[in-house]
Amino acid sequence: MSHAPSQQASPDGTVPHTDPVQPEIRRFLHPDGTATGPLPEPLADPDRLVGLYRGMVLARAFDEKAISLQRTGRLGTYASSLGQEAVSVGTAAAMDDADVFAPSFREHGAQLWRGVTPEELFLYWGGDERGSAFEGPKRDFPVCVPVATHFPHAVGAALALKLDGGASVAVAIGGDGSTSKGDFYEALNLAGAWRLPAIFVISNNQWAISVPRQAQTASRTLAQKALAAGIPGWQVDGNDAVAVASCVGDAIARAREGAGPTLIEALTYRLGDHTTADDARRYRSDEEVSGHWKEEPLTRLRTYLANEGHWDKDREEALIREVRQRIDEAAEHYLATPPQLPEAMFAHLFATLPAPLEDQVRSLGGDAGNGEGSP
């Protein structure tokens, strides 16, 4: 084993490691809403900041409605993003329309920002795959529930974008638990080896369902996992939407210039249950959760805007009314949408259905047919 000559070996022969991971966590807004210093351009523009806040309020309103629908038996199992809105919205705000987004199952804030409608998201979580046929971002991937399997998808998209010769990038978001999966390591390795325009954002909410972050890995940080792939690994305050947008924006700029992929660990906290099928009170204390409410992203940015004279009670009340009306109308549209026929589950699977599946389609009274979209 060779070591850098400037480093002093310890008695057992090991050498202190010079940590190439970003030594400081990027942050522009303290939890109390005060600024750490000048905000970065162009995010310092009040309209941009208000836009970030609106995006997070919309995501939280969608969350509240989705949980209400699930609790009354009108939506399937649902994964809330409560407390993590800044990661989703900040990431999407840094992207261009032509970029490709590969979400996991907690990124509706980013999807709404990129043009996926609340109606489509309600349909998806209601078990209707028509909710994945976005009218807006045609190149974005649908929600990916299997943990980490969307990272290789993003790498494939990044390779296609590179071969096209343009400047677009692929961005994937996953949770801290996803970094324990082989798909994650394989994706990072290939993206690094081929210097692909791919950005991997880890929304580190401290819990992989009921498994705490410290029980998942011996890695000091999740950003550090970038080292093995030979790519930069950065940490950012994931409850600071300005910092997330800035950090992801810098990573995207690197990728557009041909410098390859970046891994970003956004430190946040999941304030709600893992999904509506979970009860987080069985493995987390109320004291732990209440402490993290003091850091949540919406109050932080709203306080900053109000202190700077860009927000007030009237604007807040108007925004809440507007957002709730939009979400309520979307929910009504979703509930009024006739369900698909049972045989629709076979559509879009094969260009030509295998014989056993053809039999199943016919058993449901459908026309097996052939080709994409059948029956």
Q: Which residue has the higher pLDDT, 49 or 129?
A: 49
The confidence band for 374, taking pLDDT boundaries of 50, 70 and 90, is: very low
Is residue 44 pLDDT above 80, yes or no?
A: yes
Choose the weakest-confidence range: 12-26, 45-59, 118-132, 173-187. 12-26
Region 199-207: mean pLDDT is: 97
Region 107-136: mean pLDDT is: 96
Q: Tell me whether residue 270 is one of the annotated catalytic residues.
A: yes
**CB-CB contact of 143 with 174 (8 Å):** no
pLDDT at 349: 80
Q: Tell me whether residue 274 is one of the annotated catalytic residues.
A: yes
Is residue 138 pLDDT above 90, yes or no?
A: yes
Region 252-276: mean pLDDT is: 97
314/279 Cα distance (integer angstroms): 36
63/327 Cα distance (integer angstroms): 10
Is residue 237 pLDDT above 90, yes or no?
A: yes
The confidence band for 347, taking pLDDT boundaries of 50, 70 and 90, is: confident
Model pTM?
A: 0.91
For the sheet with 100-102, list strands across it. Answer: 100-102, 170-175, 198-204, 262-267, 233-237
Choose the weakest-confidence range: 80-89, 148-157, 264-273, 341-350. 341-350
The confidence band for 368, taking pLDDT boundaries of 50, 70 and 90, is: low
pLDDT at 346: 87
Q: Tell me whether residue 283 is one of the annotated catalytic residues.
A: yes
pLDDT at 204: 97
Region 193-201: mean pLDDT is: 98
Angle (CA) 3 9 14, round 5°: 75
Q: What is the CA radius of gyration of the chain?
A: 22
**CB-CB contact of 205 with 199 (8 Å):** no
Name the token pair of 174: 């996953």
Dump pLDDT digits (tens) for 239-259. 999 999 999 999 999 999 999
User: Mean pLDDT of all residues in the chain?
Assistant: 92
The confidence band for 369, taking pLDDT boundaries of 50, 70 and 90, is: low
Q: Which residue has the higher pLDDT, 373 or 274?
A: 274
pLDDT at 345: 85
Q: What percentage of the chain has pLDDT greater than the value 90? A: 86
Task: Mention every residue, 6+ apart, whose C-beta is less than 8 A from residue 6.
Answer: none
Q: How far is CA 138 from CA 10, 101, 254, in A?
A: 56, 10, 25
| Dihedral sign computed on CA atoms, order 63, 69, 72, 77 | negative
Residue of 274, 292, 300, 302 marked catalytic: 274
149/145 Cα distance (integer angstroms): 8
Residue of 3, 71, 220, 283 marked catalytic: 283
Q: Count Cβ atoms within 10 A of the Cβ of residue 237 and give its class: 0-12 exposed, 13-18 middle, 19 or more buried.
A: buried
Is residue 344 pLDDT above 90, yes or no?
A: no
Residue of 270, 292, 300, 302 marked catalytic: 270
pLDDT at 21: 53
Dump pLDDT digits (tens) for 10-40. 444 544 444 555 568 999 999 999 999 999 9
Scanning the structure block, which residue is given the tokens 């609106």? 54
Is residue 83 pLDDT above 50, yes or no?
A: yes
